[in-house]
Amino acid sequence: MKVTEHLQNASSTLFSFEVLPPMKGKTIQDLFRVMDPLMEFKPPFVDVTYHREEIVYKKRADGLVEKVPTRKRPGTVGICAAITAHYKIDAVPHLVCGGFTKEETEDAIFTLHYLGIQNFLLLRGDGLKSEPRFQPSDGGHHYASDLVAQVANMNRGRFLHEETATDAATDFCIGVAGYPEKHFEAPNMSTDLRYLKHKVDQGADYIVTQMFFDNKVYFDFVKRCREMGITVPIIPGLKPITAKPQISTLPPVFHLDIPDELVNAVSKAPDNKAAEKIGIEWAIQQSRELIEFGVPCVHYYSMSKAEPILAIARAVF
């Protein structure tokens, strides 16, 4: 079932979460051990992230240095198939621009279509660490809106090459990312919202936000989206603080602000366990307020750690 259908059919706010593919060398059972406790709350769908290749430089026997692409978390497609079969729920794979040509993207979309996957979260994705700014692969997409357009065209039976049968049209539900505190590359919030509206105009069916710690930021974001004519569902994404260093590490990585009250409380925590308890309680209060506001779903960034999300869900859902 499509994410939008789950949202339309729900009589109350839904619970969903995002998982990371296991590190290379792990097995699907490692992921199931994370997911099993959270199935208590009947998530209708689960997001599976995609991590593009990284470039490492290895010294060869002849003394020269060789550039080698490597992936630490492979297997998003297979993991989605396994989740769907094991839990009988919908998996939402993330698909990114970086590292793919348009042809490779089309092949990946058809593979997921064959597997019965009905949903995507489409992202530009991060650039390589060696690049000052994101650079698409040769023949790849530069912007998430272009990726949205490709999937939307495939839903209409329009493909890259004429030899593909027009009756092979896909029927994907398309999700995109929204940034309540602005994407870090956008010059201002108004510009970022225009980019977001362009993704919706290209065919996006719903929006999932980047994590935030102040609900006022989300409420204002939704208000401004509606004023711009963005009418699709906007799902808030939350992540609890689970360790003291995160009040310093999360803001530069995800380009967000953490309220003074939360920073001060976590800073005074004697250890990470106490900091996690504070973070969980903060996320519980955020969740309750968002549900009262009437959000269609609360989506949690688990970082493949079940216990904090489990504690929040037991208090809220």
Burial class of 317 by CB neighbour count within 10 A (0 to 12, 13 to 18, 19+)? middle
Q: Show the tokens assigned to 261.
A: 């009250």
Residues 6+ apart with CB under 8 A from 288: 316
- Per DSSP, the residues of 19-62 read EPPPPTT--HHHHHHHHGGGGGG--SEEEE-----EEEEEE-TT
- Per DSSP, the residues of 213-253 read S-HHHHHHHHHHHHHTT--S-EE-EE----STTHHHHHHHH
- Residue of 18, 106, 181, 276 marked catalytic: 18
Give buried/exposed letters for 186-222 (b at 16+ CB in 10 A, else e): eeebeebbebbbebbebbbbbbbbbbbbbbebbeebb
Contact criterion met (CB below 8 Å) for 309 and 43: no
Question: Which residues partner with 57 through β-bridges?
Answer: 67
Q: Based on the residue annotation, tell me whether 18 is a catalytic residue of this protein.
A: yes
Q: Show the tokens assigned to 296.
A: 């269609």
Residues assigned a catalytic role = 18
